[in-house]
């Protein structure tokens, strides 16, 4: 059985047989040089923490110490959560959150109410609680991001007006 070690880049716990750190994307393959999927002449620099694509300096970027491919470089991540939805409308975000929960995702909301914060043990400061004009943000665990984003997209395209129709369910 694999035992836990600390990633030497981000200090998160990973199993000692990991090929890469799922938290920051650092590669951990020993005894072999790993090359980029897209640019076979380039050595790989890391793994996109969203889609797990192996990237080199040309097709990957590092944001706050974590690796992303160019497709996912703008995905906002906090700890082990990735943002799938952002809105100034709390009601829209509530529906998105309920939808994602109904199909089995773990969901965290940010700035949902006047408390501003329902983070699961996140260690946030009172500053964010006082700022109720921030956009409402919906997060899922990073490993669930790709599925959740796709399902959310399909669901939203089937809603003509997610603000109104969804809430008006005839008894
Ligand atoms: Zn790491
Ligand atoms: Zn990616
Ligand atoms: Zn590359």
Distances (CA, A) of 30 to 6, 12, 19, 72: 16, 19, 9, 26
Distance 67 CA to ligand 3 centre (A): 12
Which of 42, 70, 98 is where one domain is finished?
A: 70
pLDDT tens digits, one per residue of 101-124: 999 999 999 887 644 444 444 444
Where in the sequence is the domain holding 152, given as residue range(s)?
Answer: 77-157
Distance 56 CA to ligand 2 centre (A): 12
Instruction: Tell me the residues surrounding ligand 2 (ion) with CB < 5 Å.
Output: 48, 50-51, 53, 69, 72
Say what the pTM is: 0.78
Give the confidence band of 129 by pLDDT, cuts at 50, 70, 90: very low
Q: Which of 7, 10, 67 is nearest to 36 (CA)?
A: 67
Which of 70, 104, 127 is where one domain is finished?
A: 70
Distance 131 CA to ligand 2 centre (A): 31
Say if 169 falls within a structural domain. no
Q: Which ligand is nearest to the CA of 70?
A: 2
* 5 and 64 housed in the same domain: yes
């Amino acid at each position: 059985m694999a035992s836990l070690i600390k990633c030497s880049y981000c200090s998160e716990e990973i199993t000692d047989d990991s090929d890469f750190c799922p938290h920051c994307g650092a590669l951990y393959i020993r005894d072999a040089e790993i090359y980029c999927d897209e640019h076979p002449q380039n050595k790989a620099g890391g793994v996109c923490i969203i889609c797990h694509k192996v990237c080199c300096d040309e097709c990957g970027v590092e944001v706050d110490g974590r690796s992303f491919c160019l497709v996912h470089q703008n995905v906002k991540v906090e700890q082990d959560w990735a943002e799938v939805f952002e809105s100034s409308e709390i009601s829209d975000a509530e529906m998105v959150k309920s939808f994602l929960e109904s199909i089995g995702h773990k969901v965290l909301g940010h700035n949902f109410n006047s408390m501003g914060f329902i983070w699961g043990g996140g260690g946030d400061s009172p500053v964010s609680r006082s700022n109720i004009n921030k956009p409402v943000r919906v997060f899922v665990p990073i490993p669930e991001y790709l599925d959740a984003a796709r399902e959310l997209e399909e669901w939203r395209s089937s809603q003509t007006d997610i603000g109104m129709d969804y809430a008006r369910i005839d008894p």
